[in-house]
Every structure is written in C-alpha cells, then in structure tokens.
Structure 1
Amino acid sequence: MAPEGIETYNEDGEWKSKVQGSSRAAHVGGTKAEQAAVGRDMARARGVEHTIKKMDGTIGEKNSYGNDPNPPRDKN
C-alpha cells in the first residue's frame, strides 16, 4: 500500500494540513501560503504527494516528493 499523501485545505475559514486519511489536521492556522509551506515540508520529509486544495475544496495543485506514479512525459 502506498504511503498516505499530505493535504492542505480550508475548513471553516482556517487553513489546515494533514496526512490524508487522518481524521485530524496536523497543523492549523495562518495563510494558505503558510500552510502550503508546512504541507510541502511534511510531504518532502515523508517522500509523498502534496495536494493543495482551493477554497471550494477542488484540487488546485499537486506536487510529488517521492516516487511519482505519474511522472511528466517530458522527463526521461
């Protein structure tokens, strides 16, 4: 089973970062950019994917910091 990724999202007006599948956020507060940086550091440390969601909950950005299951086609 692949390790769980990190998700940065907004809930009730607060930006949060958590391990996907977890019921509670690991970090809460600050701006979207601040939480994105926290989530990026968490993802890098674990070698997993980081998903940053928009205010409406849709995916805004994804970055992989480990073995990317879908690497860019132009990177050979």
Structure 2
Amino acid sequence: MGKNQHVTPRSSGGYQVKGAGNSKATKVFRTQSEAITFATGIAKNQKSELFIHNRSGQIRERNSYGNDPHPPRG
C-alpha cells in the first residue's frame, strides 16, 4: 500500500496534494476540484487513502482506494 494522499489549502492560496509524511507538495493547483482529481488518481494507483481538508485544515472527507476494513455490503 502506498502513501495516503492529502489535499490541503495553501497559505498563499490554492490547494496542494501531499503524500503523508512528505515535507513538499507533490503538485499545486488553483482549485480544490483540480487537486482532488489529481490526488484521486494517485490514491487509486497506490491503493491508499485520500484525505480532503477544508480551508481551516480539518478533514472534511475521506476516501479509501485500498484495503477498506469496512467495505460496503452489496
């Protein structure tokens, strides 16, 4: 399983995608939507989690693209 991906706001404006534990952003975007699309691709490829943070930095959404301990029943 790869690194979890985080979409977070930047203090200078825009949004960034960062792998968990990384000090630098993987990529910077003008909009949160663009950052989410990019981060989703990485998370799916690495079978990891995607965390989307709101403007205040709190996690507002979480998506699992790996081994989900509580998969939906269908």
TM-score exceeds 0.5: yes
Cα distance, 1:30 vs structure 2: 2.2
In the alignment, structure 1 residue 40 sits paired with structure 2 residue 40: yes
* SS of equivalent to 1:23: coil
Match of 1:9 in 2: 8
Structure 1 residue runs without a partner (length 5+) = none
1:14 deviates by: 2.0
**Dislocated runs of 4+, deviation >3 Å:** none
Unaligned runs of 5+ in 2: none
- Given the two structures, how large is their TM-score scaled by the length of structure 1? 0.86
Q: Quick one: higher RCO (CA 8 Å, sep 6+), 1 or 2?
A: 2
**Number of residues of Structure 1 aligned to a counterpart in Structure 2:** 73
TM-score by length of structure 2 reads 0.88
Fraction of identical pairs, as percent: 30
CA RMSD of aligned residues (A): 1.5
